[in-house]
């Protein structure tokens, strides 16, 4: 079995130490920079204003650089360093060319990673998961991936295929299939709209892990475990079964990132089945690897490189079973979009991949002549990284479960954000531990005693001569069996193409007809610019744009997103994570001035928000938006607009009492696929009655209301409701001074549930009935006390009536019920003075100066006596019944109907 | 289509297992690469150690 060995001239090493060292150091540098990006991103969750003055350091851009850096700068360089060490052992030949190796090194680092990072920070990127580097950089990476095939796969072509060890198969499969899959996720979403493009995005999201990271980490595992233990893997046959299952099934997993979406259900179900298959495969792979260590487990304690790789293999099993579980629809319905998934991805990219690469680099560093290497620092690195990672994964998994439970409840979105704060803070601590572990790893390759041996230049010619001198021993029957490998490899390529067809092409074709019926109007130039900003600054990484066909999503966000709505979306911006709420139905949810204030300083309108500010979109204040901010808001106003226009007018009685109870999941195994017709916004199911029952004298309710007010309302209205905040001033109309008005209970209830169209006052229907009762009680308690003085002079009222009839009745109606002839076209609708009583000072000011942001003008030509009279007259309406009904138009406007 | 692929993958893997079970003579061929890999590793590692030993004789302390 042993090959014939001839000696090589002593002057030349068997592997290219220079390239190993160069890629190894580039990897370590990439790891530190990428981890710093990650830690900064984590810190911004509890310090949203950290580094927020500049566009380049905003959360979204750093997040893009974090994941792309881990994939390409750290893991990419780490894999390449290991392959230069492993290939001569696996292929019995040196790499194709040393010169090509150096060209690849510079292309990878100076033409891909560095420009990619820089361009993303400069705002040139793609909002596509695991494909965030801009298209120009993606082309360079694709070129480099082809070079990798030439450098590392071509030597196998010259070798005897029937002798390829499983690590060599993973190397070949990883290199070839990644070169095929990378354009799928980078290019096709630009060519195919919305849902059709998302099908391909899903493929790449999973292929980045399944066809690039996993195979190359397994190269390290299949290499280091046998070499360190001196024992072969338990069964090469099992390992090959595992290999082919992985490459046949992994590409079919991708659509499980978009379960309950508009992608055809057949593709979603297929992805679920493939994901479970994948979990079974990993059990086989890991068992086979770990069985090789039976009887020599003590080595895991003494050999640090082996310990890293062993941990990687164990965590591979954990993360794969976790991944299969996440793909099961009933479980996915709960945890998808939560921090559970972020914990899972960190377990995969650090626990499995990074531990594997760290072990691989340590293994080869111990064998590099002349380099410094510190086992002590490596030991520290292992424990710091292990503890940091495990704490982080436990923390994020728990956070995900809490978020899932809260999203399933009727509690507000911000309740889940507030509940997550502690977990996110702990995540930063874990991240700091991880970073210190990575730092210790970097030190282990830079300090310590020098390894024995003298550095000698690698000679390609000498390595080729050495390889030619090795003659593999032929086995009986190997000639025809050798052909089996070739055919099997061809079958693998065919299966990859099939997966592309099944999960990408067929769903896209199935969606074609539906998407052809999409909105005729595409985006305007301004909206397109806004969409570009939305993608550039990473909004899609906190806000999804897909209401899934699940009861919880429908209840919270509205009708499920349909494929036709995305007919003009190049590329899709569906997103796979929710830190903020879904925005697919944002169109009428908040007015433009609220959006601008929110972008300028989110905490000013949502005090507990963790969203970063975007001050570079403004000229110094929320009232001075740049064209970019205006365009971004214009784009936000389009989200769900087409679906709103398409929605049939509700005719099932009072809107606020519509039944939105979805089909019980027990009756629908696919999770409420047969959804009832629901309005664009999901209103409260309990109606107004329960809120009307508030008691403004109940200290308990007032206390509850004060707390809810502080979290949700104080940003605009101020802590004491006096509307004297900078935010209030930036809104048009300004946020109301609640201490200057008295409100009827029905008005308060309606406004809290439906908001005030034409103003920044949103609907708070997501709050519970008890919370809304509390707010109503608290707001009532803020207002002026009931009038106890003498009734107004009748003569004054008669004078006021005359002024009112002349100047005010056109809008406010002849009886002050807000139902004048102009009322139907005004937003916000004119005040109904039977339900709203302004205090005297604020009423005088309104008459004299008008109300900014509304149709109420100033009346400078009225005499002081007339002003006093009309104010007294208007105030006298409060609490009296109106004999004229409010027009349906104004009522529906209050309720937020289109 | 997806069902076809899953069934096809299952059949392929089943066929591999069947061959392994029915034809014991194939097993050494299937297992050979793992031994050959370790032999190749030993060969290169041995050469590396000779290199190191040779250079260390010339320059014992770096």
User: For position A667, what pLDDT does the model report?
Assistant: 35
- Residues A635, A531: contact at Cβ < 8 Å? yes
**Is 80 exceeded by the pLDDT of residue A651?**
no
Which residues of chain A does B45 touch, with a Cβ-Cβ cutoff of 8 Å?
A: 367
Interface of A with B in 452-471 (CB under 8 A): 452-454, 456, 470
Letter string b/e over residues A845-863, b meaning 16 or more CB atoms within 10 A of that residue's CB: bbbeeebebbbbeebeebe
Residue A770 confidence class, pLDDT cut points 50, 70, 90: confident
Interface of A with B in 355-384 (CB under 8 A): 367, 369-370
Q: Write the Ramachandran bin of A205: left for phi over 0, alpha for psi from -120 to 50, otherwise beta.
A: alpha
User: For position A862, what pLDDT does the model report?
Assistant: 93
Q: A185: part of which helix (H) or strand (E)?
A: helix A166-186
User: For position A890, what pLDDT does the model report?
Assistant: 37
CB atoms B5 and A499 under 8 Å? yes
User: Best residue in A9, A14, A275, A488 to probe B by mutation, most B CBs within 10 Å?
Assistant: A14
Task: Please check whether residue A10 touches B, CB under 8 A.
Answer: yes
**Is 50 exceeded by the pLDDT of residue A380?**
yes
Model ipTM value: 0.87
Residue A675 confidence class, pLDDT cut points 50, 70, 90: very low
CB atoms B44 and A14 under 8 Å? yes
User: For position A257, what pLDDT does the model report?
Assistant: 92
User: For position A685, what pLDDT does the model report?
Assistant: 47
Which residues of chain B does A14 touch, with a Cβ-Cβ cutoff of 8 Å?
A: 44, 47-48
Q: What is the rounded average pLDDT of the residues A61-80? A: 98
Q: What is the rounded average pLDDT of the residues A49-68? A: 96
**Is 80 exceeded by the pLDDT of residue A321?**
yes
Q: What is the rounded average pLDDT of the residues A396-419? A: 95
Q: Could you give the CA distance from residue A695 to residue A677 in angstroms, rounded to a whole number?
A: 35
**Is 90 exceeded by the pLDDT of residue A637?**
yes
Residue A129 confidence class, pLDDT cut points 50, 70, 90: very high
Which residues of chain A does B29 touch, with a Cβ-Cβ cutoff of 8 Å?
A: 162, 475, 477-478, 481
Indicate the class that CATH gives domain A689-782. mainly alpha
Q: A836: part of which helix (H) or strand (E)?
A: strand A836-838
What pLDDT, in 10s, does the model give residues A807-848? 999 999 999 999 998 888 888 899 999 999 999 999 999 999
Integer Rg of chain B from CA: 23
More confident residue, A679 or A720: A720
Which residues of chain A does B47 touch, with a Cβ-Cβ cutoff of 8 Å?
A: 7-8, 14
Which residues of chain B does A508 touch, with a Cβ-Cβ cutoff of 8 Å?
A: none
What pLDDT, in 10s, does the model give residues A594-612? 999 999 999 999 999 999 9
**Counting Cβ atoms within 10 Å, is residue A476 exposed (0-12), middle (13-18) or buried (19+)?**
exposed
Q: What is the rounded average pLDDT of the residues A485-506? A: 78
Q: Could you give the CA distance from residue A101 to residue A460 in angstroms, rounded to a whole number?
A: 11
- Residues A188, A131: contact at Cβ < 8 Å? no
Residue A789 confidence class, pLDDT cut points 50, 70, 90: low
User: Best residue in A88, A226, A236 to probe B by mutation, most B CBs within 10 Å?
Assistant: A236
Instruction: Give the range among A62-66, A485-489, A531-535, A539-543 with minimum mean pLDDT.
Output: A485-489
**Is 70 exceeded by the pLDDT of residue A447?**
yes
Instruction: Look up residue A9 and give its DSSP letter.
Output: -
**Phi–psi pair at A449, nearest 5 degrees:** -70, 155
Q: What is the rounded average pLDDT of the residues A772-796? A: 84
| Mean of per-residue pLDDT scores for chain A | 87
In the beta sheet, which residues pair with residue A450?
A: A372
Quick one: fold of A794-894? Cytochrome Bc1 Complex; Chain D, domain 2 (1.10.760)
**Is 50 exceeded by the pLDDT of residue A7?**
no
Interface of A with B in 225-284 (CB under 8 A): 226-227, 230, 232-233, 235-237, 239-241, 244-245, 248-249, 252, 266-267, 269-270, 273-274, 277
Q: In this complex, which of A8, A14, A163 lies closest to B36 when CB atoms are compared?
A: A163
Share of chain A above pLDDT 90, in %: 63
Long-range contacts made by residues B48-56, C-beta under 8 angstroms, separation at least 24?
B48/A13, B48/A14, B48/A367, B48/A453, B50/A10, B51/A10, B51/A13, B51/A369, B51/A453, B51/A454, B51/A456, B52/A369, B52/A452, B52/A453, B52/A454, B54/A10, B55/A369, B55/A452, B55/A453, B55/A454, B55/A456, B56/A452, B56/A453, B56/A454
Residue A677 confidence class, pLDDT cut points 50, 70, 90: very low
Q: Where are the beta strands (DSSP E) in A206-343?
A: none
CB atoms B33 and A89 under 8 Å? no
CB atoms B51 and A10 under 8 Å? yes
**Is 60 exceeded by the pLDDT of residue A896?**
no
**Is 70 exceeded by the pLDDT of residue A893?**
no
**Is 70 exceeded by the pLDDT of residue A678?**
no
What architecture does CATH give domain A525-645?
Orthogonal Bundle (1.10)
In order of A818, A839, A877, the CA distances from A831 in angstroms are 5, 14, 11
CB atoms A10 and B2 under 8 Å? no
**Is 70 exceeded by the pLDDT of residue A378?**
yes
What pLDDT, in 10s, does the model give residues A416-443? 999 999 999 999 999 999 999 999 999 9
Torsion of CA A830, A836, A838, A844, to 10 degrees: 30
Q: How many helices (H) and strands (E) does chain A have?
A: 40, 2
Residue A10 confidence class, pLDDT cut points 50, 70, 90: very low
Instruction: Look up residue A657 and give its DSSP letter.
Output: G
CB atoms A450 and B62 under 8 Å? yes
- Give the gap in angstroms from C-alpha A185 to the nearest C-alpha of chain B: 20
Q: What is the rounded average pLDDT of the residues A131-140? A: 96
Handedness of CA A152, A156, A162, A163 (dihedral sign): negative
Count of A–B CB contacts within 8 Å?
A: 147
Interface of A with B in 163-222 (CB under 8 A): 163-168
Residues 6+ apart with CB under 8 A from A153: A171, A172, A175, A176
What pLDDT, in 10s, does the model give residues A153-175? 988 876 665 678 999 999 999 99
Q: What is the rounded average pLDDT of the residues A579-593? A: 90
Q: Could you give the CA distance from residue A204 to residue A513 in angstroms, rounded to a whole number?
A: 25
Chain A residue nearest residue B32, CA to CA: A163
The most confident of A271-280, A492-501, A674-683, by mean pLDDT: A271-280
User: For position A833, what pLDDT does the model report?
Assistant: 93
User: For position B6, what pLDDT does the model report?
Assistant: 76
> Where exactly does CATH 1.10.760.10 map onto chain A?
525-645, 689-782, 794-894
Residue A507 confidence class, pLDDT cut points 50, 70, 90: confident
Q: What is the rounded average pLDDT of the residues A521-526? A: 92
User: For position A106, what pLDDT does the model report?
Assistant: 98
Q: Could you give the CA distance from residue A167 to residue A506 in angstroms, rounded to a whole number?
A: 34
How long a stretch of residues is chain B? Answer: 62
User: For position A57, what pLDDT does the model report?
Assistant: 97
Q: In this complex, which of A89, A227, A502 lies closest to B5 when CB atoms are compared?
A: A502
Q: What is the rounded average pLDDT of the residues A118-142? A: 96
Q: What is the rounded average pLDDT of the residues A335-363? A: 97
The CA-to-CA distance between both ends of chain B, in Å, stands at: 64
How long a stretch of residues is chain A? Answer: 898
What pLDDT, in 10s, does the model give residues A14-44? 688 999 999 999 999 999 999 999 999 999 9
Q: What is the rounded average pLDDT of the residues A751-765? A: 85
User: For position A338, what pLDDT does the model report?
Assistant: 97
User: Best residue in B17, B40, B61 to probe A by mutation, most A CBs within 10 Å?
Assistant: B40
List, for chain B, all residue ranges whose pLDDT scores fall below the cut of 70: 1-2, 54-62
User: For position A687, what pLDDT does the model report?
Assistant: 56
Residue A690 confidence class, pLDDT cut points 50, 70, 90: low
């Amino acid at each position: 079995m042993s090959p014939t060995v001839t000696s090589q001239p002593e002057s030349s090493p068997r592997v290219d130490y220079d390239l190993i060292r160069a890629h190894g150091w580039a990897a370590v540098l990439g790891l530190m920079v990428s981890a710093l990006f990650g830690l900064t991103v984590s810190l911004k969750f509890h310090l949203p204003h950290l580094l927020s003055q500049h566009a380049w350091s905003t959360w979204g851009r750093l997040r893009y650089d974090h994941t792309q850096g881990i994939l390409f700068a750290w893991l990419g360089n780490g894999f390449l360093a290991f392959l230069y060490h492993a290939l001569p052992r696996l292929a019995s030949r040196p790499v194709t060319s040393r010169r090509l190796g150096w060209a690849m090194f510079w292309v990878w680092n100076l033409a891909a990673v560095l420009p990619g990072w820089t361009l993303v920070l400069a705002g040139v990127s793609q909002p596509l998961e695991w494909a965030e580097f801009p298209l120009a950089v993606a082309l360079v990476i694709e070129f480099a991936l082809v070079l990798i095939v030439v450098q590392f796969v071509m030597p196998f072509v010259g070798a005897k295929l029937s002798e390829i060890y499983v690590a060599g198969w993973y190397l070949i499969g990883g290199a070839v299939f990644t070169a095929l899959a990378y354009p799928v996720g980078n290019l096709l979403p630009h060519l195919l709209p919305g849902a059709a493009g998302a099908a391909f995005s899903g493929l790449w999201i999973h292929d980045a892990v399944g066809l690039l990271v996993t195979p190359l980490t397994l190269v390290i595992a299949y290499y280091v475990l046998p070499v360190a233990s001196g024992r072969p893997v338990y069964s090469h046959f099992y390992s090959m079964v595992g290999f082919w299952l992985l490459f046949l099934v992994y590409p079919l997993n991708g659509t499980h990132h978009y379960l309950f979406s508009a992608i055809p259900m057949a593709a979603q179900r297929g992805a679920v089945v493939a994901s479970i298959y994948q979990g079974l495969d990993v059990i086989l792979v890991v068992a086979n690897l770990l069985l090789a260590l039976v009887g020599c487990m003590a080595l895991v304690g003494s050999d640090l490189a082996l310990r890293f790789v062993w941990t990687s293999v164990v965590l591979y099993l954990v993360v794969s079973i976790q991944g299969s579980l996440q793909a099961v629809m009933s479980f996915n319905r709960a945890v998808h979009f939560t921090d559970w998934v972020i914990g899972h991805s960190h377990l995969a990219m650090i626990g499995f991949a990074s531990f594997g690469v760290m072990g691989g680099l340590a293994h080869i560093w111990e064998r590099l002549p002349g380099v410094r290497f510190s086992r002590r620092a490596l030991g520290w690195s292992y424990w710091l990284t292990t503890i940091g990672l495990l704490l982080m994964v436990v923390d994020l998994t728990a956070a995900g479960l809490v978020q899932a439970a809260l999203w399933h409840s009727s509690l507000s979105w911000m309740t889940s954000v507030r509940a997550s704060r502690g977990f996110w803070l702990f995540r930063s601590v874990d991240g700091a531990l991880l970073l210190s572990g990575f730092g210790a790893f970097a030190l282990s390759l830079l300090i310590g005693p020098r390894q024995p041996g003298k550095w000698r230049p690698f000679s390609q010619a000498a390595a080729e001569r050495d390889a030619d001198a090795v003659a593999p021993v032929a086995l009986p029957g190997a000639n025809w069996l050798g052909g089996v490998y070739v055919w099997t490899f061809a079958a693998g390529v065919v299966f990859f193409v099939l997966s592309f067809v099944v999960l990408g092409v067929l769903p896209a074709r199935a969606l074609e007809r539906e998407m052809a019926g999409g909105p005729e109007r595409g985006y305007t130039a301004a909206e397109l610019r806004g969409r570009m900003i939305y993608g550039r600054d990473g909004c899609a990484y906190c806000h999804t744009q897909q209401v899934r066909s699940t009861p919880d999503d429908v209840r919270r966000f509205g009708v499920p997103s349909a494929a036709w709505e995305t007919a003009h979306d190049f590329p899709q911006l569906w997103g796979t994570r929710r830190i903020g709420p879904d925005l697919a139905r944002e169109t009428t949810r908040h007015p433009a001035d609220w959006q601008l204030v929110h972008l300028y300083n989110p905490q000013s309108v949502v005090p507990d928000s963790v969203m970063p500010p975007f001050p570079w979109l403004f000229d110094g204040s929320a009232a001075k938006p740049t064209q970019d901010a205006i365009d971004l808001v214009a784009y936000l106003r389009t989200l769900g607009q087409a679906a709103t226009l398409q929605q049939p007018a509700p005719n099932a009685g009072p809107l606020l009492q519509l039944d939105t109870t979805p089909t019980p999941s027990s009756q629908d195994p696919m999770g409420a696929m047969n959804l009832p017709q629901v309005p664009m916004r999901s209103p409260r199911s309990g109606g107004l009655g329960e809120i009307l029952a508030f008691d403004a004298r109940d200290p308990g309710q007032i206390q509850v209301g004060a707390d809810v007010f502080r979290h949700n309302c104080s940003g605009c209205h101020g802590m004491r409701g006096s509307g004297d905040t900078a935010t209030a001033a930036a809104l048009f109309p300004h946020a109301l001074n609640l201490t200057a008005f008295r409100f009827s209970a029905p008005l308060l209830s309606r406004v809290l549930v439906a908001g005030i169209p034409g103003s920044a006052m949103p609907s708070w229907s997501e709050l519970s009935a008890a919370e809304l009762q509390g707010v109503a009680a608290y707001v009532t308690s803020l207002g002026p006390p009931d009038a106890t003085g003498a009734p107004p002079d009748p003569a004054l009222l008669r004078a006021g009536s005359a002024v009112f009839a002349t100047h005010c009745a056109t809008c406010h109606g002849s009886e002050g019920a807000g139902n004048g002839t102009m009322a139907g076209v005004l937003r916000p609708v004119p005040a109904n003075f039977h339900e709203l009583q302004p205090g005297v000072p604020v009423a005088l000011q309104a008459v004299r100066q008008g109300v900014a942001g509304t149709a109420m003008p100033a009346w400078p030509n009225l005499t002081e006596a007339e002003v006093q009279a009309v104010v007294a007259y208007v105030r006298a309406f409060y609490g009296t019944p109106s004999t004229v009904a409010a027009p349906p138009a104004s009522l529906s406007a209050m309720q937020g109907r289109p | 289509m997806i069902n076809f692929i899953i069934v096809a993958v299952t059949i392929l893997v089943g066929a591999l297992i069947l061959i392994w079970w029915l034809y014991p003579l194939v097993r050494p061929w299937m297992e050979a690469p793992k031994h050959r890999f370790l032999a190749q590793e030993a060969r290169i590692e041995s050469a590396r150690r000779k290199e190191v030993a040779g250079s260390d004789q010339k320059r014992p302390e770096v």
